A and B are shown apart, each in its own frame.
Chain A
């Protein structure tokens, strides 16, 4: 197997006396979707915040493309090509799609915003992801549906040439049709060569989209499974702590 894009080993995070991550291992590969599942409070969000550099890990090793790296600030994570698509609070509703996709790294010419260049790149990125639900890249985000907003947030990470994209519950607030669209988008994102980590509570979605499933239980990674080798009941067993087998991908 290839070198994983990201490889965590023995990652630890505590908040005062509370040990939230107790030596977690996790890998994600280029071109593959790795689902991160676990009950509420298992530590999924804490793990993601560590990867994003928002809440650095206390101890443990992080390797990016085989190289040991530090993830102490969002800037460091971003520079490596790690992008997180948060479930909420990710877009400015008063701005349009192009403005959101380029927020914080706008193209300029002669000191002024180069709207044409940004518009073109935004359209091309959406097209490369086969997005058909968006009519105009100059629509305000306030006029978009939940699924379209997720699409814009994901396209934003593609535009940034991310190598690892982490999606925190991208379908939690969506209806059936929109969930399908976003899941298809996640697949296309992986097929473009990006390593994708997706957090989800919905096992149906997970089995539809993921190549690997990693199960977090009370701060321990209790299972790292290949989707094709496992089933719904097994995964539920790991999530609820009924099963405690330490799996391996080998």
Chain B
């Protein structure tokens, strides 16, 4: 499938040249230069996972892994939402309450006004869109710092939510489709089909990328690296789906040597493909479209972006709109998992979302970070809560450890940059 380029490749390199070994050593060089990305967070996750699996026999069970994923999905989505504004060096302190308010709108429309659930869902998303537009307008057009605008909304929306829900009120989620997100699993064959689709997509895109580079006449990395990466993803995914296909309700024990009968709990939780899909789409947009490139440019150097003809205000607005819209998803996830929407839903989570992004390696100064970083950061924070919960430690310990991990992650990032001679800023 290789075509000979019309002209010989240029002699200034692009980092794609050389053997697999060259490539790998080049990768480690960039890591040593302080571009650690999500490595510290991945390392932290692995260490915590090993630690907890030694301390608690229930940690490494299919049931607990499913729990961990559903526990982390809300935070993960909110952290991914925040990445869009954090990449611009902005912040959205109202993302949590936006998720709460829009979930409240949904549940009240369904309950009190008998609105069909899809229509209520559309209303929740429309509200999210409107909130994002509102924030974006005040930040990008009026010029108020996002910290101030969204702090205002953070305070105001807690009041709004009280008005919608009523003091002390709680609305049960009775829409089966929403309840299913966190509480139901994919039938095992469906899980494998989705797995196959995802792998096919990954292979297709990797091959397409190579073909495009070949056509342009520039170097490609050795094929073995591409297949190595894809095979690693395929194996990890297969292990995961297989693990999730084990009956998680099986550990009810036996009576007189006979297994106690029970309904099987098996299959990948429905929230997993939704969260992975959001991560994939968002990453595609950020990495492969002009919009994504411009977002990074504005976050890296606003003035340079402006001079390059990028509509900076429009990019700013859009980031807040994406953030608020994804916050709606987070709100629905939370409602699905908890089963109720209360007047305080979503009011606590936003700073954990920021922490997840930072732990994962996203820079609060803007311009640096990826969605997957936020997702991994959210997993780290979720695994702390999950593991300490299994050990039966008081909740206070959880906050202490999470705070410590946040500061540790920021310190590792700062030190690695300093050692490489760079500055923390940008």
A106 vs B305: C-alpha distance when bound (angstroms): 13
Evaluate contact between B367 and A119: CB separation under 8 angstroms: no
Q: Is the CB of B293 within 8 A of A134?
A: no
Q: B276-308 vs A: 1/0 string, CB under 8 Å?
A: 000000000000111001101101110111011
Closest B residue to A92 by beta carbon equals B300
| B-facing residues in A159-209 (Cβ within 8 Å) | none
- Number of A-B residue pairs with CB-CB distance less than 8 Å in the complex they form: 117
- Which 4 A-B residue pairs are closest in the complex by CB-CB distance? A116-B216, A104-B308, A123-B10, A94-B300
Residue B426 at the chain A interface, CB threshold 8 Å: yes
Is A99's beta carbon under 8 Å from chain B? yes
Chain B residues with CB under 8 Å of A112's CB are: 288-289
Using Cβ atoms and an 8 Å threshold, which residues of chain A touch B422?
A: 142
A111 contacts B289, CB within 8 Å? yes
Within 8 A of A (CB), among B303-337: 303-305, 307-310
A94 and B368 contact, CB distance less than 8 A: yes
CB distance from A4 to the nearest CB of B (A): 25
A134 surroundings in chain B (CB, below 8 A)? 12
**Could you tell me the distance between the alpha carbons of A41 and B66 in the complex, rounded to whole angstroms?**
68
Chain A 101-112 against B: per-residue CB contact (8 Å), 1 yes, 0 no? Answer: 001111011011
In the assembled complex, which residues on chain B have CB atoms less than 8 Å from the CB atom of A124?
10
| Cα A31 to Cα B304 with chains together (Å) | 27
Does any Cβ of B come within 8 Å of A90's Cβ?
Answer: yes
Interface check B215, CB cutoff 8 A: yes
**Measured between C-beta atoms, what is the minimum distance from B60 to chain A in Å?**
38
Most chain A CB atoms below 10 A, which of B10, B213, B422 = B10
Whether the Cβ atoms of B290 and A116 lie closer than 8 Å is: no
- Give every chain B residue within 8 A of A140 (Cβ-Cβ): 35
Q: Are B309 and A105 neighbours in the complex by a CB distance under 8 Å?
A: yes
How far apart sit A113 and B422, CA to CA, in the bound complex (Å)?
Answer: 29
Provide a sorted-by-A list of 29 A–B residue pairs whose CB atoms are within 8 angstroms. Answer: A75-B309, A78-B309, A86-B307, A89-B304, A90-B304, A92-B297, A92-B300, A92-B301, A93-B301, A93-B426, A94-B299, A94-B367, A95-B297, A95-B300, A99-B297, A103-B305, A112-B288, A113-B293, A117-B212, A117-B216, A119-B14, A120-B218, A123-B10, A123-B14, A127-B12, A134-B12, A135-B12, A139-B15, A142-B426
- Give A72-108 as 1s and 0s: 1 = Cβ < 8 Å from B's Cβ atoms: 0011001000000010011111110011100111101
**B residues 169-221 in Cβ contact with A at 8 Å:** 209, 212-218
Chain B residues with CB below 8 A from A92, complex form: 296-297, 300-301, 304-305, 367
Tell me if B13 counts as interface (CB < 8 A to partner A): yes
Interface size class of B (residues with CB under 8 A): 35 or more
Interface residue? A243 (CB, 8 A): no
A115 and B297 alpha carbons, distance in the complex (Å): 16
- Is A93's CB under 8 angstroms from B307's CB? no
List 15 additional contacts besides A93-B367, A136-B12; criterion CB under 8 Å: A90-B307, A92-B367, A93-B426, A94-B299, A94-B301, A95-B300, A113-B293, A119-B216, A120-B216, A123-B12, A123-B218, A134-B12, A136-B14, A137-B14, A138-B16
**In the complex, are the beta carbons of B212 and A103 less than 8 A apart?**
no
A51 beta carbon closer than 8 Å to chain B = no
Contacts of A123 in B (CB 8 A): 10-12, 14, 218
| Chain A residues with CB below 8 A from B11, complex form | 123, 127
Q: Smallest Cβ distance from B236 to chain A, in angstroms?
A: 26
Q: Which residues of B contact A115 (CB under 8 A)?
A: 209, 212-213
State A126–B215 Cα separation when bound (angstroms): 20
> A residues within 8 A CB of B299?
94
Taking a contact as CB atoms under 8 Å apart, the answer to whether A114 and B216 are in contact is yes
| A240 contacts the other chain (CB 8 A) | no
Within the complex, which residue of B15, B35, B290 is in contact with A106, where a contact is CB–CB below 8 Å? B290
Bound state CA distance, A75 and B293, in angstroms? Answer: 21
A35 contacts partner chain B, Cβ-Cβ < 8 Å: no
Tell me how far the C-beta of B305 lies from the nearest C-beta in chain A, rounded to whole angstroms.
Answer: 7
Q: Once bound together, how far apart are the Cα atoms of A94 and B308, in whole Å?
A: 15
- Say yes or no: is A37 at the interface (Cβ < 8 Å to chain B): no
Is A143 at the interface (CB under 8 A from chain B)? yes
A-side interface residues, number (CB < 8 Å): 43
- A131 at the B interface (CB under 8 A): yes
The answer to whether B13 and A135 have CB atoms under 8 Å apart is yes
Complex alpha-carbon distance, A86 and B33, angstroms: 28
CB contact between B218 and one of A74, A108, A119, A131 (< 8 Å): that residue: A119
Q: Is the CB of A109 within 8 A of B297?
A: no
Q: How far is the CB of B304 from chain A (nearest CB, A)?
A: 5
Chain A residue with minimal CB distance to B292? Answer: A113
Q: Are A74 and B307 in contact (CB under 8 A)?
A: yes
The one of B9, B288, B305 that contacts A113, using a Cβ cutoff of 8 Å = B288
In B367-426, the 8 Å CB interface with A consists of 367-368, 422, 426
A195 to chain B, nearest CB (A): 20
A141 to B218 CA separation, bound complex (whole angstroms): 21
Which B residues lie within 8 Å of A74 (CB)? 307, 309
Cα-based distance from A140 to B35 in the complex (angstroms) = 11
Bound: A140/B310 CA distance, A:
20
Q: Which residues of B contact A137 (CB under 8 A)?
A: 12-14
Neighbouring A residues of B217 by C-beta, 8 Å: 116, 120
A151 CB to closest chain B CB (Å) equals 11
B10, B216, B305: the one within 8 Å of A127 (CB): B10
A120–B13 CA distance with the chains assembled, in angstroms: 10
Q: Which of A75, A86, A113, A120 has the most CB of B within 10 A?
A: A120
Residues from 40 to 86 in A contacting B, C-beta threshold 8 Å: 74-75, 78, 86
Residue contact A103 to B33, C-beta cutoff 8 Å: no
Closest chain A residue to B35, Cβ basis: A140
Within the complex, what minimum Cβ distance (angstroms) separates A72 from chain B? Answer: 16
Chain B residues near A89 (CB, 8 Å)?
Answer: 301, 303-304, 307
How many Å from the CB of B352 to the closest CB on chain A?
26
Taking the closest CB of chain A, its distance from the CB of B313, in whole angstroms, is 15
**Bound CA span A109–B307, Å:** 24
| Residue of A whose beta carbon sits closest to that of B426 | A93
